[in-house]
Structure 1
Amino acid sequence: MLKKISVIAFAATMLTVSAAEDWENPAKFAEGRLPHRATAYPYPTAAEALKGDFKASTWYESLNGKWKFNYSAKPSERPKDFYLTGYDVSSWGDINVPGNWEMQGYGTPIYVNVGFGFLNRNPPFTTHDDNPVGSYKRTFDIPASWDGRKVFLHFGGSTSGMYVWVNGKKVGYVQSTKNPAEFDITPYIHQGKNDIACEVYRWTDGTYLEDQDFWRLSGLERDVYLYSTADQRIGDFFARAGLDSGYKNGTLDLDVDLLNYASGNAPVNVNAELFDAAGKKVWSATAKSDIASQGEKSVNFKGSVRNVAKWSAEIPNLYTLVITLADKSGKTIESTSARVGFRSVEIKNAQLMVNGRPIEVHGVNLHEHHPIHGHTVDRETMMKDIRMMKRNNVNAIRTCHYPQSPMMYDLCDEYGLYVVDEANIEIHGMGVVHNYPDTTNHPAYHPAWRDCMLDREMALVERDKNHPSVITWSLGNEAGNGENFQIAYRWIKERDKTRPVQFEQADETWNTDIVCPMYPSIRYMKEYAARKNVTRPYIMCEYAHAMGNSSGNFQEYFDIIRSSPHMQGGFIWDWVDQGFLRQDEDGRSYWTYGGDYGARSYKNDGNFCINGVVNPDRTAHPGLYEVKKVYQDIRFAPDVKKGTITIENNFIHKDLSDYDFNWQILRDGKIVKNGTFAKVNALPGKTAVVKMPLDGVDLGDGAEYYFNIFANVRTGDDIIPAGHEQAREEVELSGHRTYKPAVAAAAPTVDETSNGWTVKAGNVEIFFNKEGWIRSYAADGRKLLSQGIAPSFWRAPTDNDWGNNAHKRLNAWRVAFDNSRVTSATLVKEGDVVKVVSMRDMPDVNCGLKTVYTVYGDGTLGVTESLVTHADARIPELMRFGTSIAMPKEYDNFTWYGRGPWENYSDRKHSSFVGVYSGKVADQYYPYIRPQESGNKTDVRWAELTDKDGFGIRVVGEGLLNVSALDVTPEALDPGMDKHNMHQNDVWPDAWNVYLNVDLAQRGLGGDNSWGAAPHAPYILTPKDYSYTYYLTPVTK
């Protein structure tokens, strides 16, 4: 405690800001609040502390639940005397604590990326006209067993500024938001019923430090509780559980801070014990101490544990530390506990090391978000996150951009996730480093804000310092790099010498131990990877912006990362879509985003909060499968010539003994052999070689062969069940062959009328109009096409397309065919085939389009589409080059031989293996929260759409195709030139048709960012000549 109190002098150069209100004064942020400390609870006995069930402690009382609540739209309308005892609140409504009042029917949820919930920037001043105030009140009982003891009031987090009264007496004022605040309320309470009142302001000067990219919500959003101690107590402790220089034995450096509230010295005994996972005591020590009257004392213990079970995200071994305070006779005063993990974190050779081994960070940014409760996230939802992350090879989170609920750290400790723990500071709306902010009134650069900013850094470190999962501290996000951050960096480095400190805004200057850029260019990544004399690792704090249908070129990031030892991964933006659950008038559920709550009168940033790789309910986006594949620690290196696969164990702490390695051989997309490799294992960082069992497989028989291998968890647990696929790889054994149809002996017949040509071949009848376009296609008299075959150059823009302005830049292609005109159309007979050839001029893009339909004697229809660009044409790149085929609704069964089973695109297909897949057309559309392009399949050899009886058509590509089959029209997913706040419930399946898109190629998705970056060059359809051919044939069961 002495150490923590003394550091306030570090920033004692505070300049007082003259302000009429506490909530508009950066000097007022912690009136009456106790010093920050680690999360811990008092227990009557060491045995209870060892169990760690704090809610069962007789010295803990929760104040969660129903509170009386009054909402005022502005400070002047608040009930000013409500905190007085006897004030009648019977007419007030009830509200759940913890919770945000906007999620319970009061006020407006506002989503803003950059900027504030009020319009005028003038720190520290906010607004008095639209600054809602929540007045909370409830009663509580003091247990009889607490008589004569100290009583403390704990708030886990309140947004944004809060006054507290107990029994009509003011206790204090805090701006804590995402940090806990504790008060000694002993002087204010009495036996029996007591009143507590809280007045919470939505906007304060602290709001300028909380400009995070999330929903702006208010209220008591974390746990509220009481706890009781004797006059002597354990005030705090810092357990530095590390490793010796050989990374084999555990070292413990334990500081215990003792408090004495009584008059007169207090001689005490302090006992520290360490228990392993089986409950066996592995270390203990005792010290005598004497705490001065109304003073404090720090006691230090040092110990070691031989052959310690180390903690890592891969194997999260934990011990339980129990600290007991006793009087001089040995009678227990109180005990407390914490789970600790022995591990080391250091930077060596420009690498971030855990337990002496460099790690590869497979990270995500995690906001606190619940689809119903807002920023109040329950344990069940946290467990969903943990399970999904671990099952998809995520090993790290960045707590963007604030400390999260203590429960989340407990779960990361227990189940194994590395944590970059970030302070609750973002000042984006006042300018960031790369935008050359005006520093004259910017909090990061102004001494008037120094103490309140440093307090947030201290709160972060002091609360979470005992969690082994926390391996890095982060000073904040997008906030400038003024002197206040440099002071904070020095303070943390002095307070905690066991962890590095990072800060994106420091770039490559001195006050960051890790170079942690956000959304770096590929050029910068390659340049840093190639450097020889670096001293700091490169770990992106944000990258791979996953907004909507995104996560393209993800493999390319790791091609660079794995090319250099000091490139160590990063944190995807971000984990979860920040949408709220809502129902429309028809009872259809959908997810909301910015501007959906009547907030268009406020600044809002639309669906820019929908950036996750999972939905708000934690179900997976298709992009998550690509992340899982690239992030996998078990990787495979095939050697087709030798017939072997090298299994690489890229874990740093665990072997592969708990994985089954299953394999399958596919012939033309179907499994013909499968099995399991026996007794495969490899130590961390080592490899094992297996022989592909290809005996009896004739790779020269003209078929296409693939070998697939999977790593499946053998034993499993609640987090990752037995049989779960953790890694996969695909090996091409023999390549794709070009398809050509057989020519039937009988030639098609042609009947010509003034309207067009009817061509008959076998059981097929096709009608072409005189412009050379198919108007009908039938087999056995049954209609197969609804609207013919139309060229397709457009897709419903993805969010990345919108950010790249593609909806405007490429708009000429949206209407290119509609505005085209036929220049020629002819039917010719060439041997045993009939060809219908048409030429069109497309003036919007200054191109020609040549279409050739070839009818074979067996009814096969060849479709060749060619784009002819003019030499002087100045045209934008294409969204897609292909055709769209509308078919009657009954053809709702989709089978394809290509990449699957989930949707995939040219720059997001590494996780999608070649095979034969099938499903309902209705299931091919992925309902992104804002509707957009969806459902594509790449490298398709053939595809079928059939009815319930197996009748339909097959599409076969002369080369590889992109194919999708949807029950919604492209127009239904495309809002035009304005997003219009479209949602899932705005999209209805077409009542009459399904739509088969058959493309040569489609623009990649991109994913570097969603505000300008295009897909990488190999995945852009540059303006040039294109041509491709595919074939349609009827199929029957």
Structure 2
Amino acid sequence: MELNREWENLSCLHIGRLPARASYIPYESAMTARTGKRGRSPHVQTLNGNWKFRYYRSVREVDSHFYETETDVSGWDDLIVPSCWQTNGYDQLHYTNVNYPIPYDPPFVPDDNPAGTYVRDFNLPEAWTKKQTRIVFEGVNACFYLWVNGRFVGYSQGSRIPAEFDLTPFVAAGRNRLAVLVLKWCDGTYLEDQDVWRFSGIYRDVYLLSRDNTHIRDVFNQPLLSDDLSEGKLRSEIETTGSLTIQAELRDPAGKLIGQKEAQIDGKGAMELDVPQPQLWNAEQPRLYELILTAGQEVLRFRVGFKKVEITDGIFRINGRAVKLKGVNRHDSHPELGQTIPVNHMIADLKLMKRHNINTIRTSHYPNDPKFLDLCDEFGFYIIDEADLECHGVTRTGELEAGAFHKLSNNPDWKEAFVERAVRMVERDKNHASVIIWSMGNESGYGDNHIAMAEWTKARDASRLVHYEGADPRYYSNSDTSCLDLDSRMYPSVKEIERYALDENSTKPLFLCEYSHAMGNGPGDLQDYWNVIYRYPKLMGGCVWEWCDHGIAAETPDGQRYYAYGGDFGDQPNDRNFCIDGLVFPDRRPHTGLLELKQVIAPVLIEAEDVAQGRFRVLNRYDFSNLSHLAVSWKLEQEGDVLQQGRSGLLTAAPGETEIISLPYDLTVAQEEGTGPLTLTCSVRQQLDTPWAEEGYEIAFYQFELPGATSALAHEKLQSEEYAGFMTIDEQDGMLTVRGFDFEHVFDLKKGMPQQVSKHGVPLLASLARFNIWRAPMDNDMNIRKEWEAAGLDHAAMKVYRSHWEQKPDASVEIHVDFSLASYIFEPFVRGNAVWTVGVSGEIQLKVHAEVRENLPFLPRFGLELTMPKGTEEIEYYGYGPHESYIDKRASVRKGKYLLSVDDMFENYVMPQETGSRYGTEWAIASTVQGMGLKFTAAQPFSFQALHYTAEDLTAAQHTYELKRRPETIVTLDYQMSGTGSGSCGPQLAEPYRFTEKSFDFELTIQPIFKEEE
């Protein structure tokens, strides 16, 4: 085997590979073409399935005769193609973000370059030998050599773009042998440094094509529209391998034939079909025409979407309307299969996105499987199609050399490699209606090579926009960005994007290609971003980073399943759990962050016009659809009890317009029903089934507090002289016991806290209460966490300076405690006074006044933590739910009365962290299933949490399997908790969401109860 180390030769990007073309499959009839099933075409033969495989730690160890037809491979392993060899037990599972996995020495890679040899025997029908035989590899990482029947066919690199070869001279009727050598690294590795697990192998489909000797090689369908969009024309530029008669038929989205034509094309030509009054394609109404091209024995089918993408007056528009891109970044990722993505998995992703009001996908940071774009055309998504280009690791050399990030993008030796990645992406995907923007890659510096990519792209396809965030003028002010149509930013603050919108010198629309980092418990700043995005036309929206957690399904030796991340397989260098940064778990269960995004970007907004009269404004935020497919159902509740409910008629507002609806509730009747706040919930629901959701599915909801509502805190048990007569007090060895009619409470005067609370002899505390300022750091706390720990906040302990008690004339008992919270080395963080008052009915009222030390970072939280006994499993509360919420992450929760288990309160993040708090709680009860427990109320709404883990448990654990579920229930009642933000990669937590108060007062009431007696 003679290899010339093409994998380290920049002048050799391929050998024998055919020029890039549009993705399509030849069929024998329009009927079979419409199925979209490759296996139904007699011109296609799949090579997916079992291949013989052998893995080598180094290409130098590869058997030099493995590709020869007489080589015995019967003893080799079996490996399914497509697949990633790392997910099948070979090589090293490895996650790294910025750092290259190899020494930075372009174009060279390590000599011990892991390799996989693949062999597959296949049969070729006799009829195929009378035509041309092609082979298509849709994705091979990172480069490969190909032999057929012992003869060398070619070489290719570029991991996420197809490679096609002509096998006609190499195959014969009957049995043939295919041999492939795949290398893990090549010079292209320097251009494929994406933030992903580093997978290798033949991971996308492989198939043979039988082509007529003279056939259509390529098609570029260009839907053209008049300025007023009332007239259309489909221009199909066609390339053939010789003179060919071609028949074209065009059908409208309903299947009606609207045009046909025949033309003789020899080499290159074009066919045009008129489309009067075209039905336009957009993400809300993905209307697709069908173009059938028949030539010889082959039928090609293309779906065509008529749309116009443009920028006018600095505003991004589709079909003449200003559009907001409500998007996510999406990697190819599967918890078991790596980057091999089944079609049903793609469909599940897209349905889930549709259900959560997402209309845009950035294919970060490479072209996705072509089948994925077929689905996006059909379901209706705007696609930012991104070239397979990222050389982020170059930044690591910046410590030694100024301007290092641009070393490859400015190096003319790499120009062809850069440009080819744009060419192959554009040529493959140019016929997809969903693609609205071409992206020239990600985080690769900016220089002449990017400019060459962009200029080629604009020359080839003027119908779409060109994007590249790396040309951000804040960093590269001397660079020419005239080839780019958009300004783009990663993780700017809300203030930054507003400044851009107001800057008259900024003439391009701004696209947030990455914002609101969704890692762990977050993101917590979505509403703030969208308040500004909606306000300014120049802001075109953006894509949250990112769609899914890239965890690898794993199992501990004792059988506990979990999701692994960087470093869990001994991989170096690694970026630990930075791949666990999505809106959904690896198995696609939504995080609460996805629910937040759904509500924030909802296409319908309801605002109060006159609540007393039941009049509300409904704003249609769809770009193209009226609201006739939606209706509003409503219910009027009093502390969670439904008093009245109904449904509005169908909505009618046109895109961007507002209508007034009237809801026929009767406030006078509602106010007579009882005490407590009145809450109106309006739910916007689908009226018909769609491909992604059933009739009645909720698109968005809105809640309103109605006039005449009274406080839910007015339910205090009446005290009486009869109860007062049972009060007794006993102090022994610093333990104060207060007994009443049906309770006995014990306070530790030395530690300043309740030791035991009981009712009817049932103990309701399992250990001493404590004040807590620490929370298990969220991923979004990763930067402020360093300040918190440096200040000692993670080891805060309580000091009691003095405590004393007295009995009041009404027989209640007051315990006064002067305290501080401090850690070793440091001055106290908080100094305060706590007054505990035990009433004659057993309730305990806590009043805290606290002063926070200057020169501290903002606090994670301040609250009271109670450990309740085993069996405290039932949680009932009135507040926001049903899932977790925080001061800056609460658009997706609604006020109501909830009955949950303690386990229901827990969001089991892949990396354990702060979880499960309920912002704005008005009252809560933690009890046994028999209703024996504690009720909590406060003068103002508070944050409430009930878990089987302490903050310290969650802080210490690095994986879910490391969490040891306590039988007790840990209840935390917070005066305030800081927000979540998106600081794991985005800006630090916004000021309004930080707990920065230096002096505060907190009041709380704890009432022992048996719920059935209440």
After TM superposition, the score normalised by the length of structure 1 is 0.93
Task: Note the alpha carbon deviations across 1:962-987, whole angstroms, 9 max, x for none.
Answer: 00111122222112xxx7xx111111
d(CA) in 2 for partners of 1:699, 1:47: 61
Amino acid at match of 1:778: S
| Alpha-carbon shift at residue 679 of structure 1 (Å) | 3.0
Q: Is 2:281 aligned against 1:275? A: no
Is 1:547 the counterpart of 2:519 in the alignment?
yes
Equivalent in the alignment of 2:476: none
Q: What letter is aligned with 1:1021?
A: F
Distance apart, 1:646 and its partner CA: 0.7
Matched, 1:495 2:460: yes
Q: 1:40 is matched with which residue?
A: 24
Counterpart for residue 972 of structure 1: 953
**How far apart in 1 are the matches of 2:718 and 2:321?**
63
- In structure 1, runs of 5+ residues without a counterpart are 1-18, 261-265, 292-296, 326-331
TM-score (normalizing by structure 2): 0.95
**Equivalent-residue separation in structure 2 for 1:974 and 1:52 (angstroms):** 50
1:742 CA drift (Å) = 5.7
Shift of 1:367: 0.1
The question of whether the paired residues in 2 share the 8 Å contact of 1:437 and 1:480 is answered with: no
Aligned match of 1:134: 116
The amino acid that maps onto 2:804 is T
2:701 matches 1:731 = no
Per-residue deviation at 1:433?
13
Deviation at 1:175, TM superposition (A): 0.5
The alpha carbon displacement at 1:176 in A equals 2.2
Residue number in structure 2 paired with 1:777: 757
Question: Could you tell me the percent identity over the aligned residues?
Answer: 34
Tell me which amino acid in the other structure corresponds to 1:860: E
Render the CA deviation track for 1:576-620: whole Å, top value 9, x for unaligned: 100011122232211111111121xx2000000011000111110
Q: Give 1:669 deviation, angstroms.
A: 3.2
Q: Which aligned pairs between 1:406-417 and structure 2 lie closer than 5 A?
A: 406-417=370-381
1:698 positional shift: 6.0
Is the partner of 2:885 in helix, strand or coil?
A: coil
Which letter does structure 2 place at the counterpart of 1:623? Answer: G
Segment of structure 1 superposing worse, 670-679 or 733-742? 733-742
CA distance in 1, matches of 2:698, 2:805: 54
The residue aligned with 2:799 is 821
Consecutive unaligned residues in structure 2, runs of 5 or more: 474-480
1:467 paired residue number: 432
User: Residues 811 and 974 of structure 1: is their aligned pair in 2 closer, same or farther, counting only changes over 3 Å?
Assistant: farther
User: Which stretch of the first structure deviates more once superposed, 208-217 or 646-655?
Assistant: 646-655
The answer as to 2:871 corresponding to 1:890 is: yes
Of 992, 1006, 1011, which residue of structure 2 is paired with 1:1018? 992
Tell me if the contact between 1:801 and 1:807 (Cα under 8 Å) persists in the aligned partners.
no
Contact 1:317 1:341 in 2 (8 A): yes
Structure-1 residue corresponding to 2:39? 55
Contact conserved, 1:803 with 1:1013, CA < 8 A, in 2? no
- Deviations, residues 656-688 of structure 1 (Å, cap 9, x unaligned): 111121011121233221110023221222222
Partner of 2:294: 324
Give the aligned residue type for 1:967: H
Mean CA deviation greater in 451-460 or 335-344: 335-344
Residue 831 of structure 1 aligns with which residue? 809
- Whichever residue aligns with residue 423 of structure 1, its letter is A
Which residue in 1 is equivalent to 2:329? 365
Q: Which moved more, 1:963-972 or 1:241-250?
A: 241-250
Q: Which residue of 2 aligns with 1:64?
A: 48
Deviates more, 1:1010-1019 or 1:900-909: 1010-1019
Alignment of 1:291-370 (within 5 A): 291=266, 297-325=267-295, 332-370=296-334
2:343 to 370, 379, 384: 379
Which residue of the partner structure matches residue 87 of structure 2? Answer: 103
Letter in 2 for 1:484: N
Kept after mapping to 2: 8 A contact 1:668/1:705: yes
| Equivalent residue letter for 1:685 | G
Which residue in 1 is equivalent to 2:550? 578
One of 739, 763, 767 as aligned partner of 1:760: 739
Q: What is the aligned counterpart of 1:852 among 825, 835, 841? A: 835
Kindly state the Cα deviation for residue 875 of structure 1 after the two structures are TM-superposed.
2.5
Could you list the per-position Cα deviations for residues 813-853 of structure 1 after superposition, in whole angstroms to 9, with x for gaps in the alignment?
22222xx3211100012332211111123343423132211
Verify the 8 A CA contact 2:487 2:508 in the aligned structure 1.
yes
Contact 1:797–1:933 (CA under 8 A) maintained in structure 2? yes
Mapping of residues 11-30 of structure 1, within 5 Å: 21-30=5-14
Task: Measure the CA separation in 2 of the matches of 1:156 and 1:1001.
Answer: 53
Report the CA distance between 1:413 and its aligned residue: 0.5
Structure 1: distance between partners of 2:6 and 2:657: 60
Letter in 2 for 1:628: K
- C-alpha change, 1:778 and 1:394, in structure 2 (3 Å) is same
Q: Give the equivalent residue in structure 2 for 1:11.
A: none
Say whether the 8 Å CA contact 2:644–2:665 is kept in structure 1.
no
- How much has 1:47 moved relative to structure 2? 4.3
| Structure 1 stretch displaced more, 738-747 or 174-183 | 738-747
Match of 1:1032, as an amino acid? I
Equivalent residue runs for 1:677-688 within 5 Å: 677-688=648-659
Cα deviation for residue 50 of structure 1 reads 4.5
2:533 maps to which of 539, 544, 561? 561
The answer (yes or no) to whether the contact 1:178–1:424 under 8 Å persists in 2 is: yes
Match of 2:63 in 1: 79
CA distance in 2, matches of 1:532, 1:698: 55
- SS class of match (2:733): coil
- Give the distance between the partners of 2:438 and 2:684, measured in 1 at CA: 34
In structure 2, the partner of 1:1003 is 978
Q: How far does residue 1012 in structure 1 lie from its aligned partner after superposition?
A: 7.4
Take 1:841 and 1:950, find their aligned partners in 2: how far apart are those partners? 35
Residue identity matched to 2:990 = H
The aligned residue for residue 880 of structure 1 is: 861
C-alpha distance 515-208 of structure 1, shift in aligned 2 (>3 A): same
> Do the aligned partners of 1:113 and 1:214 also contact (CA within 8 Å) in 2?
yes
Instruction: Note the 1:181-196 alignment, pairs <5 A.
Output: 181-196=163-178
Q: Hey, what's the Cα distance between the residues in 1 that align with 2:43 and 2:299?
A: 11
> In structure 2, how many angstroms separate the alpha carbons of the residues matched to 1:550 and 1:365?
16
Coordinate RMSD, CA, aligned: 2.0
1:446 is displaced (CA, Å) by 0.7
In the other structure, the counterpart of 2:368 is 404
Kept after mapping to 1: 8 A contact 2:362/2:386: yes
Give the stretch that moved more between structures: 924-933 or 333-342: 333-342
For 2:45 and 2:55, locate their aligned partners in 1 and report how far apart those are by CA, in whole Å: 27
Deviation at 1:738, TM superposition (A): 7.9
Q: Map 1:642-721 onto structure 2 (within 5 A).
A: 643-697=614-668, 703-721=676-694
Number of matched residues?
986
Q: Map residues 585-596 of structure 1 onto 2, 5 A cutoff.
A: 585-596=557-568
Contact 1:529–1:560 (CA under 8 A) maintained in structure 2:
no
Instruction: Say whether the 8 Å CA contact 1:709–1:728 is kept in structure 2.
Output: yes
Partner of 2:477: none
Contact kept, 8 Å, 2:759 with 2:1009, in 1: the verdict is: no
Distance 1:523 1:688 in 2: 32
The separation in 2 between residues aligned to 1:306 and 1:48, in whole angstroms, is 28
- CA gap 1:20/1:849 in 2 versus in 1, 3 angstroms: farther
Distance 2:360 2:820 in 1: 54
Q: After TM superposition, list the pairs within 5 Å mapping 1:917-956 onto structure 2.
A: 917-956=898-937
Distance 2:431 2:417 in 1: 23
1:7 aligns with none
Contact 2:328–2:547 (CA<8 Å) still a contact in 1?
yes
Partners of 1:1017 and 1:37 in 2: CA distance:
52
Q: Which residue of the other structure, out of 902, 909, 925, is the alignment partner of 2:890?
A: 909
1:92 is matched by which residue type in structure 2?
W
Q: 1:797 aligns with which of 777, 785, 804?
A: 777
